[in-house]
Structure 1
Amino acid sequence: MLTTFTSTTTAGAAVPAGFTDTAVISGLSAPTNAVFAPDGRVFVSEKSGLVKTFDSITDTTATVTADLRTQTQDFWDRGLLGLTLDPAYPTRPYLYVLYTYDAVPGGTAPRWGDQCPTPPGATEDGCVVTGRLSRLTLDTFGVATGAEQVLVTDWCQQYPSHSVGTVAFGPDGNLYVGGGDGASFNFADWGQRGNPCADPPSPAGVNLAPPDARGGALRSQSPRRPAGEPVTLDGTITRVHPDTGATQIVAYGQRNQFRFAFRPGTSEIWSGDVGWNTWEEINRITNVSDATVENFGWPCYEGSARQSGYDGANLTMCESLYTAGGQTAPYYAYNHAASVATGDGCPTGGSSIAGIAFETSSNYPAAYDGALFFADSSRGCIWAMQRGSNGLPNPATIVPFVTGVNAPVQVLTGPGGDLYYVALGAGQLRRVSYPAGTNLPPTAVATANPTSGNAPLTVQFTGSGSTDPEGGALTYAWDLDGDGAYDDSTAANPSYTYLTQASVTARLRVTDPGGLSGTASVVITVGNPPSDSPVVTIDNPTAATQWSVGQTIPFAGRAADAQDGTLPASALSWQLTLQHCTSSTNCHAHNVQSWNGISSGSFVAPDHEYPSFLDLTLRATDSDGNTTSQTVRLNPRTVNLTFTSSPSGARLVVGTAEQVTPFTRTVIVGSNNSVSAPSPQRLTLGLGFRFRSWSDGGAQTHNITAPATATTYRANFQLCLC
């Protein structure tokens, strides 16, 4: 799944020698995309549904281009996730947005808001939504006017990940749009939990079952459904006419192709497809202009191998693909347990490929000419797959390019041909430049007098000591109020008066004529705020709390400081985060839900594979803007499920993996787990055995809800002439 949208890494990152990595736009709230216009403007989308415009990469004050928050569901991995500008802009003044539409199929927004109540439960029956591609018309100021023109509404999504992703123009002047399967990330999903997307062969509300089920993740194979059945856009990359919205699928069989890009000068799409628990893929569509519609195999395949959870269910849609062939193998795939490049320093385990771009027209060293850059938001890294002798990216020559990034969710080229990337967790658009031998970045120097005193405190700042190696004239931008935006002064030596007690980090950004920047900061202490910072207390739940899936957990907390006394509920905010771990020290985060302006409430514990845990954070802000937070870690209740067979040694599939009995899995109490008994099998003395029954009375392929106590499940087989 696309992990995300938080990270434990820092905003600063490491780049190869000779390169610089600088923030060009900061202070964003969960940014997802950036688009550069020919006139220098920068359009940025935020996950909530806002689109902002900056006059240039040095502009520090945004204009709101469009507010789509009402119709956008910003929940887990859903939100405003795709953005592109008409290539003929401003002659054709159109901006295209791709977002999670907060409505059930055929319905209107808003249906759920930025949440999913229980029932139906985000990871249980799911809050069903769709995806939407719309065209916005911009005025001369870059602000949307009139109503959005809806081009496509599709992409039925039952579960809170694998939503929509990229919208981009191809060389033929058409839009190309991607969307995930909208299926469960916890169990092999073929539509057995209510079938709300009305996938065949049954109507909505009727659970589907193997072998004929064609729902859930199998929506990614919908172009292979029998004639007359609906073909959806889930798991596809689709050509869309930019004026009429007419669609044509060019590739399918992908799980969550969150980001893709055209290789410059070609009709090739290179797509990053987020895997389940084993493989991340880069898929190549060799020519979107020909009649070939490529099938990359999901969910029947993950990487180049059969996906055990779906293979074991003997689903007709997969079995026919295995027999007939036709899966297009990944151009490149990396295993979650392995490093992408030896010694890259990037964590292994959790993985989510989340950025694709090609080098073009940069001044980077020749080794990067035509390179494919790809990012992983979970690992916090960007790599370069350098070009081989055949002109294509060569998987044998992958080198780390940017490491330690705070959740990269888009990479793109921009002014100067440099690589830019959107760091969602840091709230920034960042630029990677190669100034060696050409323009070097300036050095910012910021001083202040005085740096402390009681309010009101007037401070004289000096930035004129900043220098540029080439002697170019510098421009100045100051963040004097500490809000993260460099919009308070453009003078070299401004003054500023602080009226309230606070500790403020004032920042200076200087920019040279070539567009390179340097920053410096100085801390101003007004009064004595540290002693007055809020003291935050989470009264409930405590760290001793253990949860099971579906359990309602109440929470309550408070904060106070010496100046304000007990803070009101309006000063409090809460964040619930699920930490998905691959080991005791390697976890990545998914923001689940947030609450503002309350001192108490409750949430329902979500379903997720183990190991994982929940973080509940309470943040308080006092009247001077001082902020303190407290986090309590909430571990799940777990249970051991043992799987045996009669006779012993049979292959059984639980969730994503196949094992030979007997074996034991640790899962979270109340979690939903898919199990399958492949049949027939060669067991005792190499004889053939066919599945007969499960000890719990379930079908050959079924789901089990993990009980509170250790339980054994036995698959029974009988001898057969098979």
Structure 2
Amino acid sequence: MGVGPGPRLLLTDRIGTHVKAEKMKNRATALLWLFMTIFCRPLAAQAPPSGFTSTLVSGGWNEAVGLAFNKTGSKMFVWERPGRVWVVENGQRRQLLDISEEVGGWEDHGLLGFALDPNFDTNGYFYLLYVVDRHYLMNFGTAAYNPATNDYFSATIGRLTRYTATSPTGTCTVNASSRKILLGATKSTGIPSTFNGHVTNTLLFGTDGTLLVSTGDGAHPYPDYGNYNASYAAQALADGIITSKENVGSYRAQLVNCLSGKILRIDPATGAGIPSNPFYDSTNPNAPRSKVWALGCRNPFRMTLKPGTGSTDRTVGNPGTLYIGDVGAASWEETHVVDKPRQNLGWPLFEGLTPYDAFATQNTYNQDAPNPQYGIGGCTQQYFYFRDLIKQATPTGTATFTNPCDNTKTIPTSVPTFVHNRPLIDWAHGTGPSRTGIFSGSTASTINIGAAGSPVSGPQFGGSSSSGGVFYPYTDFPAAYQNTYFFGDYVGGWIRSMTVDATNKPSAVRDFVNSGAVVVAMAVSPAETGLFYVNFYPSEIRKITYNTTGNAPPVAVASLNKAYGPSPLAVQFTGSASSDPDGQPLTYLWNFGDGTPTSTAVNPTHTFTTATSAPTKFTVMLTVKDSQGSTNQTSLTVSVNNTPPQVTIVSPAVGTRYPMSGNSTYNLQATVTDSEQTSAGLSY
């Protein structure tokens, strides 16, 4: 998931009080000081097609990045990028776990992956995938460790841990001592991070009960061949986070014996690789190669399992068919399918459907691939280059790999070679085009979606950050949307639907939500119909449903006269601006989020009281219902014993100009104070 252009800086304290600082920002790379994240997406309409309705499920989150349901759908789990997990039950949220002290929540990093064990209701296991704060990684357990200290913009690792919930079908609480590290127990066994993003992504259970993990290349976003001076590779090398052979930047995605840029398939009990994995080493089940299922990913931010696929027998090597949203670099965003082991998505030698010349033409050694012809007949190439070991897709899926020193000899089978597994579709940054792959004779080619002769119908579209999606399994949507793959683009702000056949060939792409959906995750509930998604800004969970009755839902509008202040804090709420498109009368239900009785008044007054003087956040929900039972919700945040942080941007200075002819780099710097909290209590 990339951070796109835009004018809004959002600074939030841990209680949710926030201030906005407006400032022009260059689209190019920025060195962010004070851990400031640029949130790019302005508020916009999130309107699906006629007959569909997008409603608020839950708002007021602090950078929610995902949601998941238990098997019955009675509990919704929401995780936030800074490192907190929540349980939502009967509309009430409760914090399950807070590991923000350990999590490095800066730029694209944070707690991005979460999964419930298939047997969660009995064993209580759940899994977290996140980037570790460097100070925590290097100092925890020593006298040098300070829980209030963060060390961002430095080399670190991604980590996978398992926790155990007690009474998972009841109150569902967690004992922090149940923590078990499955990946990244040491700085040398984690997922390497040598820049500010693209490390940890999705956790997903296969049909066979194996745990699938998507990882990014962890490199600098600009062509990084290793030792890039703006990355943290030198520091990572000195620390032992990477080895010398891994000091190849984005090419780590092509190193079989490396955790970066992969789909991993591991044992959820131990973190070890699965014997039916394609590169499994029986002498070292914990070697990175033993865990690799697929490779060549840049940033496979979100992936999902196609329903009805996979085997329950893990020895077969078929966890199911994965649909993957892989975030592009310079030009193309991608939707990939991985339906068998050993598939190579191509990064960095390919971006989208076509070669990426910034890497495809480079002579960079793969030090895991020794050339047996080296020193023979004048051959000076000690190792094969990465570009020697992968070729563009062919109609048969096979290719011949000759030795670059002697074209009468092939590369030995002991060295893995690959044919590019092209994405189903790709779309260009900006306004498009959007394409699919075809063959012109035996040569791989592309054709625009919707063009004459294209196997895929639909509109042209663009975007800048593929955010994956889910299949919709229910029959309440119109037939054209049933059993289709819904996918999104975070920067593009849209959700679309793609029809695929049993062999995963796409036939149609349809518009669904064309703007305003800053989507970072999607889900479906086992208990109710509707497409759920997480909107990153504003941070909320929404649900899209289809209206089969013709009764349009009401519009909930809430406001308040005070958003913060000392306890006891009396707040006047107003719901009278709510309306119903059909003119039906409305009823109101206010939940104040503090455990007190709800109110059915249109414009209630409520007093928030806290037992201590500590800053406390309350999320207030208004639900309005029309006379035919259709509902809508909206939320407000009240911060008691709290005031907003005060922010002054000092760099770039007001009026700073930048050239339009090329990239520019600016230090973003601000002074920040908060009356109630130290800097450790602020998120940026």
Taking structure 1 as the reference length, the TM-score comes to 0.62
Report the more deviating stretch, 131-140 or 337-346: 337-346
Matched, 1:312 2:381: no
Q: 1:331 aligns with which of 424, 433, 439?
A: 424
Give the 5 Å matches for 1:187-206.
187-193=223-229, 195-196=233-234
CA contact (8 A) 2:68 2:76 kept: yes
Matched, 1:490 2:598: yes
Hey, what's the Cα distance between the residues in 2 that align with 1:353 and 1:519? 28
Report the more deviating stretch, 411-420 or 76-85: 411-420
* 2:262 matched residue in structure 1: 236
CA contact (8 A) 2:495 2:512 kept: yes
Hey, what's the Cα distance between the residues in 2 that align with 1:546 and 1:104? 36
Q: 2:674 aligns with which of 558, 570, 581?
A: 570
Hey, what's the Cα distance between the residues in 1 that align with 2:264 and 2:573? 57
CA contact (8 A) 2:488 2:519 kept: yes
Hey, what's the Cα distance between the residues in 2 that align with 1:465 and 1:128? 50
In structure 1, what residue type is equivalent to 2:674?
S
Matched, 1:30 2:66: no
Hey, what's the Cα distance between the residues in 2 that align with 1:152 and 1:236? 14
* 2:492 matched residue in structure 1: 379
Hey, what's the Cα distance between the residues in 1 that align with 2:324 and 2:635? 40
* 2:536 matched residue in structure 1: 424
Hey, what's the Cα distance between the residues in 1 that align with 2:239 and 2:259? 19
* 1:413 matched residue in structure 2: 524
Hey, what's the Cα distance between the residues in 1 that align with 2:272 and 2:608? 58
Change (3 A) 1:74 1:241: same
Hey, what's the Cα distance between the residues in 2 that align with 1:461 and 1:203? 56
- Per-residue Cα deviation, 1:444-499 (whole angstroms, up to 9, x for no partner): 698999xxxxx9989697889998999999772345xxxxx697752212742579
Hey, what's the Cα distance between the residues in 2 that align with 1:394 and 1:114? 50
* 1:354 matched residue in structure 2: 467
Hey, what's the Cα distance between the residues in 2 that align with 1:515 and 1:35? 26
- Per-residue Cα deviation, 1:185-235 (whole angstroms, up to 9, x for no partner): 023333455744878xx9969997xxx886211111111xxxxxxx12111
- Per-residue Cα deviation, 1:499-545 (whole angstroms, up to 9, x for no partner): 99xxx9997313689995324799x9xxxxxxxx9998767753244
Structure 2: 5+ residue stretches without partners = 5-37, 185-189, 274-290, 310-319, 365-384, 392-399, 402-417, 435-448, 451-456, 562-567, 610-617, 639-643
In structure 2, what residue type is equivalent to 1:301?
F
CA contact (8 A) 2:485 2:499 kept: yes
* 1:3 matched residue in structure 2: 3
Hey, what's the Cα distance between the residues in 2 that align with 1:240 and 1:534? 43
Q: 1:139 aligns with which of 161, 166, 169?
A: 166
Secondary structure, aligned partner of 2:254: helix
Hey, what's the Cα distance between the residues in 1 that align with 2:59 and 2:104? 24
Shift of 1:68: 0.8
Change (3 A) 1:344 1:539: farther
Change (3 A) 1:8 1:114: farther
- Per-residue Cα deviation, 1:303-334 (whole angstroms, up to 9, x for no partner): 23222111232221223324735222222222
Hey, what's the Cα distance between the residues in 1 that align with 2:425 and 2:680? 41
Hey, what's the Cα distance between the residues in 1 that align with 2:146 and 2:578? 55
Shift of 1:339: 4.9
Change (3 A) 1:189 1:477: farther
* 2:296 matched residue in structure 1: 253
Secondary structure, aligned partner of 2:74: coil
Matched, 1:95 2:126: yes
Change (3 A) 1:44 1:220: same
CA contact (8 A) 1:28 1:46 kept: yes
Report the more deviating stretch, 103-112 or 409-418: 103-112
Hey, what's the Cα distance between the residues in 2 that align with 1:514 and 1:89? 37
Hey, what's the Cα distance between the residues in 2 that align with 1:573 and 1:439? 47
* 2:346 matched residue in structure 1: 297
CA contact (8 A) 1:339 1:346 kept: yes
Q: Which has more radius of gyration?
A: 1
Change (3 A) 1:361 1:205: closer
Change (3 A) 1:219 1:111: farther
Hey, what's the Cα distance between the residues in 1 that align with 2:87 and 2:233? 40
Secondary structure, aligned partner of 2:40: coil
Matched, 1:272 2:325: yes
Q: 1:177 aligns with which of 213, 236, 244?
A: 213
* 1:693 matched residue in structure 2: none
Matched, 1:476 2:507: no
Shift of 1:52: 0.9
Secondary structure, aligned partner of 2:39: coil
Hey, what's the Cα distance between the residues in 2 that align with 1:448 and 1:205? 50
Change (3 A) 1:429 1:134: same
CA contact (8 A) 2:584 2:627 kept: no
In structure 1, what residue type is equivalent to 2:494?
C
CA contact (8 A) 1:7 1:380 kept: no
Hey, what's the Cα distance between the residues in 1 that align with 2:305 and 2:220? 29
- Per-residue Cα deviation, 1:91-143 (whole angstroms, up to 9, x for no partner): 121111111122499845579988656xxxx4xxxx11111111111122222
Shift of 1:268: 0.6
Change (3 A) 1:359 1:512: farther
In structure 2, what residue type is equivalent to 1:250?
W
Give the 5 Å matches for 1:553-632.
555=670, 569-570=673-674
Change (3 A) 1:513 1:180: farther
CA contact (8 A) 1:73 1:113 kept: no
Report the more deviating stretch, 370-379 or 511-520: 511-520
Hey, what's the Cα distance between the residues in 1 that align with 2:50 and 2:667? 51
Secondary structure, aligned partner of 1:219: helix
Change (3 A) 1:367 1:70: same
Hey, what's the Cα distance between the residues in 2 that align with 1:457 and 1:214? 58
How many pairs does the alignment contain? 518
Shift of 1:246: 1.6
CA contact (8 A) 2:201 2:215 kept: yes
Matched, 1:219 2:246: no
Change (3 A) 1:345 1:70: farther
Hey, what's the Cα distance between the residues in 2 that align with 1:198 and 1:334? 34
CA contact (8 A) 1:346 1:380 kept: no
Shift of 1:277: 0.9
RMSD: 4.7
* 2:513 matched residue in structure 1: 402
Hey, what's the Cα distance between the residues in 2 that align with 1:457 and 1:206? 55
* 1:85 matched residue in structure 2: 116
Matched, 1:70 2:101: yes
Change (3 A) 1:333 1:552: closer
CA contact (8 A) 1:189 1:216 kept: yes
Change (3 A) 1:394 1:573: farther
Hey, what's the Cα distance between the residues in 2 that align with 1:331 and 1:541? 42
In structure 2, what residue type is equivalent to 1:137?
T
Change (3 A) 1:391 1:543: same
Taking structure 2 as the reference length, the TM-score comes to 0.65
Higher relative contact order (CA 8 A, sep 6+): 2
Report the more deviating stretch, 240-249 or 96-105: 96-105
* 1:16 matched residue in structure 2: 49
Change (3 A) 1:113 1:251: farther
* 2:155 matched residue in structure 1: 128
In structure 2, what residue type is equivalent to 1:510?
V
Secondary structure, aligned partner of 2:528: helix
Secondary structure, aligned partner of 1:385: strand
Shift of 1:156: 0.6
CA contact (8 A) 2:63 2:80 kept: yes
Hey, what's the Cα distance between the residues in 1 that align with 2:132 and 2:165? 21
* 1:715 matched residue in structure 2: none
